[in-house]
Amino acid sequence: MKPKVFGKYMFRGAVLGMAVAALGAAAWAPVLYESQSLYYKFGLEKVMLQAGKSIGWVVLVLMVGQVLLVARSVFLERRIPLKLLMSLHRGCGTLIGILVLVHPLLILWADGFSLFPLERRYWPEFLGGFTAVFVAAIVAASKFRTRLHIGYKSWQRLHRICTPVAVILAFVHAWFVSETFHHMVPRTGLFIAAGAALALFAGIYIRRHAGRAKAGKHGEEK
Partner 1 sequence: MKQKIVYGIFIIAFVFTATQAMAKEWKLDANHSVVQFGITHIFSTVYGNFSDFNGDIRFDPANPGAGRFDFTVQVNSVNTGNAKRDNHLRSPDFFDAGKFPVMRFVSSGITHKGGKNYVVTGEMTLKNTTKVMEIPFVFHGTAPSPFDKRTQVAGFDTQFTLDRLAFGVGSGKFYDMGVVGKDVHVTISVEALGDK
**Which one among 22, 25, 37, 145 touches partner 1, defined by CB under 8 A?**
37
Question: Of 35-43, 71-79, 90-98, 211-219, which segment contacts partner 1 by CB under 8 A?
Answer: 35-43
Contact with partner 1 (CB under 8 A) among 20, 115, 206, 213:
115
Nearest in space to 163 (alpha carbons), one of 27, 15, 62, 38: 62
Binding partner 1 (rule: CB under 8 A), the pick from 2, 75, 114, 219 is: 114
With a CB cutoff of 8 Å and minimum separation 6, the contacts of 179 are 35, 36, 37
Cα separation, 124 vs 174, whole angstroms? 8
> 3 or 117, CB closer to partner 1?
117
Give the nearer residue to partner 1 in terms of CB position, either 117 or 219: 117
SS3 label, residue 114: coil
Coil vs helix vs strand at 15: helix
Instruction: Tell me if 58 sits within 8 A of 27, measured CB to CB.
Output: yes
- Is the four-CA dihedral 151, 154, 157, 159 of positive or negative sign? negative
Reduced to 3 states (helix: H, G, I; strand: E, B; else coil), residue 71 is coil
* From 4, 5, 83, 112, residue interacting with partner 1 (rule: CB under 8 A): 112
Q: Which of 15, 22, 95, 116 binds partner 1 (CB under 8 A)?
A: 116
How far is residue 58's CA from residue 100's CA, in Å, rounded to a whole number? 10
CB contact at 8 A, 139 and 96: yes
Minimum distance from residue 57 beta carbon to partner 1 (Å)? 17
What mask of x and - would describe binding to partner 1 in positions 40 to 79, judged by CB under 8 A?
x-x-------------------------------------
**Residue 111 binds partner 1 (CB under 8 A):** yes
Binding footprint of partner 1 on the chain (CB under 8 A):
36-37, 40, 42, 111-117, 119, 121-122, 125, 179
